[in-house]
Chains A and B, each alone.
Chain A
Amino acid sequence: MALVKPLGDLPFVRANPALRAFVIGAWLGWQIESNWARPLLFAIYAVARPLASALLLVIMYSVITNGATQEPLFAFIFIGNALYIVVSSVVSGISWAVIDDREHYRVMKQLHTAPMSYYSYLIGRGVARVGIGLTSFVITMLVGVVFFQLPIALNTINWGLLILASIVGIIAMQGIGVILGAITMQLASNLWFLGEGTIAALYLFAGAIFPLDVLPEALQPFGMFYPVTYWIELSRRALLGANAPTFHAMGAIPSETLLLILTGMALFMAIASYIVYRLSLHRAKEMGRLDMETSF
């Protein structure tokens, strides 16, 4: 991320307001989180929290199955949970950035009156969160492989699928994040939970820590409309290869089809995010909510 700031000095970046805002957002996001780069905070955010939530699931699983971690369900739960860390980081991070800028740092006025695109800036903030989420993901997976013998090896991972699915998946996540961020522009800080709440609600429909089949039948289709469900399924397949569990509702759909659906959803989210952002910005300006402070 230290490379991001010099990027901002490149002539073509300086000439393009949207690109400039994106680079500033990414740089600023990292600066804010780079408290985080200190050892103690790194230990909290990148290690302790994600590992504790992973271990919580490990113990719940082990209590019931007497520690049968070699079963496909274990890998399913462990990997799904680790992948969802990235989702939470990006999506809730963007909506949180709106509240942070407005209420904590109180720079919303300055950001909106500067000659730059706040939309691109928000995406930049999201990119900083991708970095953070991926770090936690890697650490959690390392623990899974070393201590719980997850059947993953570097040479069996389908890297092509993993990278492609992740790029498309992250675009979709950024889209969801900006939509939530845009809606947050309208809300008082006591509704900060919108980002986290939505992401927690969608957790249930992403097939992350339990197969969608476990949900009541009426709720299962929700998962099929959530891009993250496809990203998690594809990444799980790429990581586990032949060991990927097939009992999942999506098990029968080929990876190519899943990738295609994910791409379509990502595109939709990207467009939708821009439209929702524009509408929400207009409304926030109309209602004078752009720089409101609502501390309680």
Chain B
Amino acid sequence: MSAMRSAERVHKAVGASLFWRAMWARAYPRLIGTQREMGWLLSETILPLLGTCGFVFVYKATGAPQEFIGFAVMGGVATAFWLNILWSMASQLYWDKDGGNLELYIISPAPLMSILLGMAIGGFVMAAVRGFSILIIASLLFQVGYQVSNLPLMLLIFFFTMAGLYGLGMMMASVYLAAGREAWHLSNALQEPIYLTSGMYFPVKALGAAVATIASALPLTLGLDGIRQLIFTTQTDIGFLAPEIELLLLIGLTVIFLSAARYSLRKLEEIGRREGRLIERRK
């Protein structure tokens, strides 16, 4: 074994520069994984796509107008993002703990928030690839047409829906870690019930004002409602709130969830170090 050649001190970034480096470093496995693991890509594209087809055929069986087919397709896209939040964001820190990565994140000088943001960026890219695949395939299969009435507003709504959604995912990651092995169940609990309450496959307005208001705490609800209003021409008014108002609410949700993520992460580390939960591994 040869002698060590580099005994010189190594420069290490701190502050914002460290945050930036750590964030992209954590995003990297996900960005690269999109190319390397076709299995995941297929699973997260095919499952929502099949679900979407099922809902489209239900609409066809009931003789629904063509725009409802489009609603179902949008629901499929939203499902890809939501599944990504549940299984690749919320549960990720728990899995990282199980695999032994979490303790290495913690003992590194990188802020945990940078690690979570990296996960979110990587997760978003993963989900976007799947979401847009679903959008294109399903739109072609079922001949869905789109008419964008206000592109900048639509893009802003999309951006803040995603920012709010991934902020929520980051917050959930800490909560899941605190919940330990119950996390698995939590993700399951938040699938179909969220498909229902967020109006993924139908206009959320159909649930009534009270339920739709509560469901608006989830960025997907407002985002889907806003985007549907901006890209489909419908005979009836399908919107729960005006898209402009929904945008403002989405900005608010983004701020709330990102702050909550930061707070819960700090709390988690504090409680975890006190109670030894960051190092225990249970099956």
Contact = CB atoms under 8 A, between A and B. Distances in A.
A–B contact at 8 Å CB threshold (below): yes
Given A214-B57, A296-B33, 19 more contacts: A44-B188, A44-B189, A48-B189, A53-B196, A56-B192, A56-B195, A56-B196, A59-B196, A60-B201, A61-B58, A61-B62, A62-B206, A190-B39, A191-B39, A193-B47, A196-B47, A204-B54, A210-B61, A215-B57
A203 B197 CA distance: 23
A201 B50 contact: yes
Interface residues of B, number: 38
Contacts of B99: 295
Interface of B: 33, 37, 39-40, 42-43, 46-47, 50-51, 53-55, 57-64, 68, 99, 185, 188-189, 191-193, 195-197, 201-203, 206-207, 283
Contacts of B207: 59
A234 to B, nearest CB: 20
A55 interface: yes
Contacts, number: 109
A139 interface: no
A270 B202 CA distance: 40
Nearest to A62: B206
Interface in A34-49: 35, 40-41, 44-45, 48-49
Nearest to A189: B39
Contact of B37 (A190, A209, A211): A190
A62 B40 CA distance: 35
A20 B99 CA distance: 34
A147 interface: no
A53 B197 CA distance: 11
Given A63-B206, A64-B63, A197-B43, A57 B58 contact: yes
Nearest to B99: A295
A7 interface: no
A214 B50 CA distance: 15
Contacts of B55: 60
Contact of B185 (A44, A188, A215): A44
A204 B47 CA distance: 12
A77 interface: yes
A211 B54 CA distance: 11
Contact of B64 (A41, A52, A64): A64
Given A44-B188, A48-B192, A211 B50 contact: no
Nearest to B41: A190
A209 B57 CA distance: 8
Interface in A272-296: 295-296
A73 B62 contact: yes
A110 to B, nearest CB: 14
Specify which of A56, A196, A197 lies most central, judged by the most chain B CB atoms within 10 Å of its CB: A56
A156 interface: no
B61 A214 contact: yes
B90 to A, nearest CB: 15
Nearest to B199: A59
A64 B195 CA distance: 18
A65 interface: yes
A45 B189 CA distance: 7
B68 A64 contact: yes
Given A41-B185, A73-B61, A210-B60, A48 B50 contact: no
B137 to A, nearest CB: 14
B203 A193 contact: no
Nearest to B55: A60
